[in-house]
Amino acid sequence: MGGFAFHPEAKLELDEIWEYIGAENPSAAGRVVEEILDSIRTAIRFPQLGHTRQDLTQRPLRFLPVRDYLIAYAPDEDPLWVVAVIHGRRNPRVIAALLRGRQQ
């Protein structure tokens, strides 16, 4: 297994995270984005590391928390498929709807 790929919307979410934090503190934004990317790289080596969220999706997605964010990924895809990078405090119904719209 090697590498990872972003759903187009997940890549936009990562960019938005950088822009939001970077408006106040660009170096902090870089650190947060790098932590997210490091967690994704770890998931490549250990794809079952994340936890499932049956309350959010019946799909075989895994979730990794990084600071205030959740990385949703498909552990069985090669390359590892990052479906979403979302703020963990969003309403669970909103998260579930977002994931339903990202079938591939």
Q: Token pair for residue 8?
A: 């187009």
Q: Token pair for residue 83?
A: 């479906």
Local structure of residue 101 (DSSP, 8 states): T
Total number of domains constituting the chain: 1
Q: Residue 69: enclosing H or E segment and its boundaries? A: strand 69-74
CATH number of the CATH domain containing 33:
3.30.2310.20
Please give the Cα distance from 51 to 61 (Å, whole number).
8
Question: Residues 77, 82, 84, CA angle at the centre, nearest 5°?
Answer: 140
Summarize pLDDT for 13-72 with one digit per residue, the tens: 999 999 999 999 999 999 999 999 999 999 999 999 999 999 999 999 999 999 999 999
Half-sphere exposure of 30 (CA within 13 A, CB side): 3
Summarize pLDDT for 7-22 with one digit per residue, the tens: 999 999 999 999 999 9
Domain residues for 67?
4-100
